[in-house]
Structure 1
Amino acid sequence: MNETLETESDAGEVSGEMLAKIDAYWRAANYLSVGQMYLCDNPLLRRPLQLSDVKPMLLGHWGTTPGQNFIYAHLNRLIKQNDLDMIYVSGPGHGGPALVANTYLEGTYSEVYPDISPDEAGLRRLFTQFSFPGGIPSHASPECPGSIHEGGELGYSLSHSFGAVFDNPDLIVACVIGDGEAETGPLATAWHSNKFLNPATDGAVLPILHLNGYKIANPTLLARIEHEELDQLMRGYGWTPIFVEGDDPAKMHVAMAAALDEAYIQIKGIQDNARINDDVTRPRWPMIVLRSPKGWTGPKFVDGVPIEGTFHSHQVPLSDPAAHPEHLQQLEQWMRNYRPEELFDETGRLLPGIADLAPVGKRRMGANPHANGGLLMRDLVMPDFRDYGIEVSERGVKGVGDTHVMGKFVRDVVRLNEEQKNFRIFGPDETISNGLEAVLEVTQRQWNARTVETDELLAPEGRVLEMLSEHQCQGWLEGYLLTGRHGLFNCYEAFIHIIDSMFNQHAKWLKVTSELPWRHPIASLNYLLASHVWRQDHNGFTHQDPGFIDVVVNKKAEIVRVYLPPDANCLISVMDHCLRSRHYVNVVVAGKHPAPQWLPMDEAIEHCKKGIGVWDWAGTEDSGDPDVVMACCGDVPTLETLAAVSIMREHLPELNIRVVNVVDLMRLQPKSEHPHGLTDADFDELFTKDKQVIFAFHAYPWLIHRLTYRRTNHGNIHVRGYKEEGTITTPFDMTVLNDLDRFHLVIDTIDRLPPTGDKGVVLKKQLQEKLIEHRRYINQNGQDMPEIRNWKWPSGCRS
């Protein structure tokens, strides 16, 4: 075979020799894919297949695999011919055999895993490890080089692909979208990503919609609508579809080669027009619709049941050779149909004339550094966060809103990294709403759709990406991080739940890649959750849910971090840490409404470093153990706790009160469970071994119990938090409805401390009357009582 890649220049068609090479490469990948699913020995069929050569448990997914092998082989030709910088995103579920086979054929897999060598012994190990205890999963998992998208949970491939090409002008992502995946809401939304792509400064995504007709057991919608309707749908999304349809390999090779050439010509034309002619008018980017049989080239019938082209090919077509000897014969025939003797030499190495199809070095899709983003990551240029702190002349001075203060810090992170273009802010139309409006002083929101005169702050290029889809924002950010950049996702606290499962997948990805020495750490996924549960004055009950942190805490301790800073200076200190960190998921919950400020910057820095601490200035303990520990975590719980303490200091001065504030939620866990956890001795020193602890918490109370159930004093920890009570009401009434307010906190303390005596009884009655007065007042006036609105930390208290 010809050692070089050529096309016939007069006709623009790929030569017959090249098509034969592509076909051989495709057959090799199919052979390796079937081998992974079935064999543990005899990898090259040097002898007749025996039952002992077959794995005892047959796992894997064949249906999508041959189509993906077909695409990968053709992309190799396109990359090498045009010297392209390209990665492959496998959207269909369980496409692992294809990605593993192709990265093995191109040599990347053996470089990463030397024991999976390019010979017969390596093939045996390659086959045995697949879907096998101690081996690799059936997805395009983190263990597979070249993968940035696992594909087990469907719907995110296209968002990930666009995230990867933002600020990567030379990168093309070939995104293979399964037709089952195309039925998901996130994928349907992701087609609109083309309205945000800047052809001058960003790369390109080439979607390849793989229509093989079926999901696990049902037909797929896009495979069953008429050709004209599908064409109109894609054009309606703003794409230019190129169709490749059929089941004859010879004809399909010709059509696919032509389609890829045409798509690349269109991509290059769009980018040249934008970069040379300065024309960034939204183009109609190309995409390919590949219609091929599910389980293509596999068994056509098994036990009289049609397999190829049906949902029966989805997983393992020949499922039980031990019980059905004819299945063993059929498996051998299936594999021999790929003619392995024409593909591999005597040692088991792919023949050079076929191997030559693959690109070399970093141009191989499995070796492209964009698919191992830590290799490319550069540190952010960071301003000194201390310069953005606010003066706290006295405890409890009113601030403008914590996120508004932090916005100026993030603004300058954007500004300082403008040149290297490796930091973006993502959010569902909430950047201004969440208090980050200062960012828009130095950048605009990237937007490449039509604009009108009344639009504001929209431009083809910007550091802020907003679309009213949490799925889309999360997917973009993940793709951006996985290819070596940094970012921040700001969102309303209640609606970050929409991406619970996406967070799960990313956290699992981080966990697995942290154990792979060849995978380099990436920037942390940073969430800023504002518009939180305690301040939804005009939105009401639907906007009140602080449970995302419960989901986060489920993940591995070495991956997740949760911060609830009590004021603006603590928030800035925490965010500086998060933006500098690597390979974590950081969740920061903060308020945007005017709120008291407690700590000067130097104290805030020290407090955040510790993550938890006693606020001596707020308590009354001078020596010995306290009578009660008033603990708080979150900005509103901190306010209500300090207001409660001020009441007790005035009316129950004999009480010895300790105030503990928690910034880093994971400090509550035992040291054995989380790297940030306190030792039992340190926990006991803060919370005592036997005193009552009244804990005001931002979220659901049981999370604190879950984190502290092993502690000595857990039986005396009484948590007040959100308990699904809320409506459109005043800020203080939200705390009253959930028993988190200052009056309930004091009453709870009195009930648990009999030594308060008559003074306690009198005070409790007064506070119960206050609660009645509060209800009457807000119902009549529509706002909180003046003593609540105008409350200040008493000037007579020590500071």
Structure 2
Amino acid sequence: MNDEFEDAIMDKTLPAPLTEARLRQIDAYWRAANYLTVGQIYLLDNPLLREPLRPEHVKPRLLGHWGTSPALNLVYAHLNRCITERGADMIYVTGPGHGGPALLANTWLEGTYSELHPSIGRDEAGMERLFRQFSFPGGVPSHVAPEVPGSIHEGGELGYALMHAYGAAFDNPDLTVACVIGDGEAETGPLAASWLSNVFLNPARDGAVLPILNLNGYKIANPTVLDRIPRSDLMSMMRGFGYEPHLVEGDDPDTVHQQLAAVLDTAFDRIAAIRHEARSGGAAERPRWPMIVLRTPKGWTGPAELGGNPVEGTWRAHQVPLPAVREHPEQLQALESWLRSYRPEELFDATGAPAGELRAFAPRGERRMSANPHANGGLLLRDLVLPDFRDYAVKAPRPGGTDAEPTRMLGEWVRDVIAANPDRFRLFGPDEVASNRLGAAFEVTDRAFMARTEPGDDHLGPDGRVMEVLSEHLCQGWLEGYLLTGRHGLFTSYEAFIHLVDSMFNQHAKWLKTTNGIPWRRPIASLNYLLSSHVWRQDHNGFSHQDPGFIDHVMNKKAEVVRVYLPPDANTLLSTMDHCLRSRQYVNVVVAGKQPAPNWLTMDEAVRHCTRGLGIWDWASTDGGAEPDVVLGCAGDVPTLETVAAADLLRRHLPHLKVRVVNVVDLMRLQPDTEHPHGLPDRQYDALFTTDKPVIFAYHGYPWLIHRLTYRRAGHANLHVRGYKEEGTTTTPFDMVMLNDLDRFTLVVDVIDRVPGLGQAAAGLRQEMVDARLAAREYTRTHGVDHPAIADWRPGKPLVL
């Protein structure tokens, strides 16, 4: 390596900014946090070592992670100095997944934890309860979970810290988000893409993100890649991502304290300069933001060795460095020596409270990172200004009498939502906003972009409110950070590829479920998905783009936090999305097509229908309000079209058959009210679907989900569901539904086969339907398009092939 380059990147010329008194104070704070961290992992009793440590003072099951904690505590202590000296408004995002005990330690030191949990006071008894509850039955998790004040990031799954940090910074001009990234986490794909988030951060209106890459060298069992590549390569990589990297490294505490303090001063000075220039009329250019590479030993200050094997600075420090303390006296002694090395008698007073010097060091009130309202976004949440969606209604003089592209109509409303909320709403999408027909947004805003632009670029600019990048992970993570800090948003994606964020959705849904039980966590705006370019209309992309299974994945989560909507036309989509953007503390999944489709309901009818969540469409039915012979259920725009067409065929060919058509918008209505807040009571469900009549249900997704939702219903044995069954290719829209037996002809055959006594009487019609399928397929194979009688069919028109 070039020595001159190495010296430069290590910032060896930086001054030592800490006075001796300040150095001792910050070191004491760090030691106190480390002591509390070790205590949480190991101790049940004797929290201040007022007597020699005995086996019964130690937890019977040792859970938790020590290796990452010393660095997290170090950074936290130094950021507290920056807050008190500079008045910084800052939150702390913890990327290393198992840093829970470190962050809990700091929230207790700052006093926030005891304020929110009075039973865990800032005294010896409270310390004992703090230790006992960690990773203990009935206690708190080992991650930086929702239970940790100041957290917006669940550390259970790695890769999302930096994107959450950037999401929190958008439209938060005075906020600085310090984000510690573990070097194991840095190997994940989502985190690798996250470095590019600075391309979308505008210092004139957004906050700042300070990434701190902690290189401790090891994951759970292996070395980390970024620690083993040449230092010059790592620094060049960070510069290539657009950062100004600063290196802090070492294993001598005093030296590292001085290095880190100096580098943080340099970083915060640079952030202040960037903000000043951007907000003083400077050119809207992408600045080179500072970032820090912090290289310290894994498990620093912990046991140096065990059984002749090195521990500190190796993978053995990752979890519990002394794993058998109760069973082995030498490990018990090592634990006591480890704890006493922090000199707790200097750190805590006679009552067990943090010593006065430590209490004086912590920031005050909402300036504490554990009490910053941005990390409890519901405290800051303001309602959106929503234009009246009824003003965007599509005319529907009669059912199916006009056509519209539902998402294009929605786009006009979303455009005006963006214009009315310039500081608290953004639209997120992976390069598909225009493709999904939401392009009206670009009439009032651009795509956010701070990198170089060229002539011919389409709607790129520093002030854009459309967040578009070809990464579903980034879109999801930015939106989550944005929501968790008190704002609103909408994420639009192709239906098949929203699966890329399955695990991210999992974590957010779990966060919502957990926070519902935490009184001091205030409700946040719902995470809203609009899935278009869906399974049934992938005419040119084909099989690879045909997957409606995200709905099934969502339905696995707790009923209290998930909602799924399948609006059948443009007006119901407008009504549904207005409801979703007003909601709180949910994940809302809305699936809607972008291709021209019939408008079935007027806006007033659509509002009533969406409010009910499902209902009988009398105009499509022939039961005359009496008991039907068969029920045709449907959920989804294409299944609805096929169901209405099937009902029309039955009306023409079997006029005496009493058919009831039931359309479902809110999928949760199919569940009993004992299973979901939106569920229908059994009596209401039975009134709609009957208890003993055949029900032919055409569904947007995989058929078994409908069975799963209704398996407890009285008439479940009569239910026959048609849906997507993994048959697809590049083909016409009607050929696609035929491939999956969801077409109108098959639905008519299903009725004939399942209504008692109809089989023989309607044998001729059944054969006609089979022949019609064959004719329709032959037409597509010959002409490459659907037969006009099918493509142009609307209610009231005869279907003649």
Could you say which TM-score interval applies, normalised by the shorter chain?
Answer: over 0.9
Distance 1:277 1:434 in 2: 36
Q: Within 5 Å, which residues of 2 pair with 1:615-694?
A: 615-694=617-696
Distance 1:367 1:754 in 2: 67
Q: Within 5 Å, which residues of 2 pair with 1:483-494?
A: 483-494=485-496
Contact 1:116 1:126 in 2 (8 A): yes
Distance 1:49 1:754 in 2: 79
- Aligned with residue 206 of structure 2, among 182, 202, 205: 202
Q: Which amino acid aligns with 2:60?
A: P
Q: Within 5 Å, which residues of 2 pair with 1:227-626?
A: 227-418=231-422, 421-626=423-628
1:144 is aligned to 148
Distance 1:757 1:128 in 2: 70
2:62 is aligned to 58
**Offset of residue 354 of structure 1:** 2.2
**Offset of residue 795 of structure 1:** 6.7
Q: Which amino acid aligns with 1:788?
A: I
**Offset of residue 355 of structure 1:** 2.1
Contact 1:590 1:635 in 2 (8 A): yes
Q: Which amino acid aligns with 2:355?
A: L
Q: Provide, for residues 333-389 of structure 1, a one-character-per-residue CA deviation record: whole Å limited to 9, x for no partner.
A: 000000001111100111111222211110000000000000000000111111111
Distance 1:646 1:636 in 2: 15
Q: Describe the SS at the equivalent of 1:771.
A: helix
**Offset of residue 432 of structure 1:** 0.5
How many percent identity over aligned positions?
65
Segments ≥4 residues shifted beyond 6 Å: none
Distance 1:590 1:459 in 2: 29
Q: Provide, for residues 233-254 of structure 1, a one-character-per-residue CA deviation record: whole Å limited to 9, x for no partner.
A: 1111111110001111111001
Distance 2:28 2:540 in 1: 64
Q: Which amino acid aligns with 2:307?
A: D
Distance 1:387 1:624 in 2: 36
Distance 1:667 1:325 in 2: 60
Q: Provide, for residues 374-427 of structure 1, a one-character-per-residue CA deviation record: whole Å limited to 9, x for no partner.
A: 000000011111111111011112322100111111111111112xx1000001
Contact 1:652 1:759 in 2 (8 A): no
Contact 2:56 2:326 in 1 (8 A): no
**Offset of residue 751 of structure 1:** 1.1
Q: Which amino acid aligns with 1:135?
A: G
Contact 1:39 1:54 in 2 (8 A): yes
**Offset of residue 286 of structure 1:** 0.4
Distance 2:438 2:325 in 1: 62
Distance 2:666 2:369 in 1: 40
Distance 2:306 2:536 in 1: 61
Q: Which amino acid aligns with 1:324?
A: H
Q: Give the direction of change, closer, same or farther, for the CA distance of 1:12–1:397 in structure 2 (3 Å limit).
A: farther
Distance 1:242 1:358 in 2: 25
TM-score (norm 1): 0.97
Contact 1:631 1:660 in 2 (8 A): yes
- Aligned with residue 167 of structure 1, among 151, 160, 171: 171
Q: Describe the SS at the equivalent of 1:276.
A: coil
2:8 is aligned to none
Distance 1:771 1:503 in 2: 40
Distance 2:757 2:358 in 1: 87
**Offset of residue 758 of structure 1:** 4.8
Distance 1:655 1:661 in 2: 19
Q: Which amino acid aligns with 1:223?
A: D
Structure 1 stretches lacking a partner, 5+ long:
1-9
- Aligned with residue 776 of structure 2, among 749, 774, 779: 774
Q: Describe the SS at the equivalent of 2:757.
A: helix
**Offset of residue 753 of structure 1:** 2.0
Contact 1:25 1:355 in 2 (8 A): no
Q: Give the direction of change, closer, same or farther, for the CA distance of 1:545–1:413 in structure 2 (3 Å limit).
A: same
Q: Give the direction of change, closer, same or farther, for the CA distance of 1:414–1:589 in structure 2 (3 Å limit).
A: same
Q: Describe the SS at the equivalent of 1:356.
A: helix
- Aligned with residue 94 of structure 2, among 62, 75, 90: 90
Q: Which amino acid aligns with 2:380?
A: L
- Aligned with residue 720 of structure 1, among 708, 719, 722: 722
Distance 1:136 1:634 in 2: 41
Distance 2:405 2:743 in 1: 20
**Offset of residue 773 of structure 1:** 1.0
Contact 2:446 2:463 in 1 (8 A): yes
- Aligned with residue 34 of structure 1, among 20, 38, 42: 38
Distance 1:198 1:214 in 2: 35
Distance 2:343 2:107 in 1: 20
Distance 2:514 2:491 in 1: 23
Distance 1:631 1:347 in 2: 68
Q: Give the direction of change, closer, same or farther, for the CA distance of 1:331–1:453 in structure 2 (3 Å limit).
A: same
1:14 is aligned to 18
Q: Which amino acid aligns with 1:461?
A: D
Q: Provide, for residues 64-87 of structure 1, a one-character-per-residue CA deviation record: whole Å limited to 9, x for no partner.
A: 001100110011001111000000
- Aligned with residue 192 of structure 1, among 169, 192, 196: 196
Q: Describe the SS at the equivalent of 1:561.
A: strand
Contact 2:15 2:262 in 1 (8 A): no
Contact 2:167 2:481 in 1 (8 A): yes
Q: Provide, for residues 184-218 of structure 1, a one-character-per-residue CA deviation record: whole Å limited to 9, x for no partner.
A: 00000000001111011000000000000001101
**Offset of residue 277 of structure 1:** 3.4
2:713 is aligned to 711
**Offset of residue 319 of structure 1:** 1.0
Q: Describe the SS at the equivalent of 1:432.
A: coil
Distance 2:759 2:266 in 1: 86
Distance 1:564 1:452 in 2: 40
Q: Provide, for residues 133-158 of structure 1, a one-character-per-residue CA deviation record: whole Å limited to 9, x for no partner.
A: 11100000100100000111000000
Q: Describe the SS at the equivalent of 1:659.
A: strand
Distance 2:352 2:16 in 1: 35
**Offset of residue 19 of structure 1:** 1.2
**Offset of residue 279 of structure 1:** 2.2
Q: Describe the SS at the equivalent of 2:279.
A: helix
Q: Provide, for residues 50-76 of structure 1, a one-character-per-residue CA deviation record: whole Å limited to 9, x for no partner.
A: 111111111000000011001100110
Q: Provide, for residues 580-611 of structure 1, a one-character-per-residue CA deviation record: whole Å limited to 9, x for no partner.
A: 00000000000000001101111110000000
Q: Which amino acid aligns with 2:669?
A: R
Q: Describe the SS at the equivalent of 2:695.
A: strand
Confirm or deny that 1:740 pairs with 2:742. Answer: yes
Q: Give the direction of change, closer, same or farther, for the CA distance of 1:623–1:140 in structure 2 (3 Å limit).
A: closer
Distance 2:363 2:469 in 1: 37
Q: Which amino acid aligns with 2:416?
A: D
TM-score (norm 2): 0.97
CA RMSD of aligned residues (A): 1.2
Q: Which amino acid aligns with 2:218?
A: Y
**Offset of residue 757 of structure 1:** 4.9
- Aligned with residue 44 of structure 1, among 48, 53, 71: 48
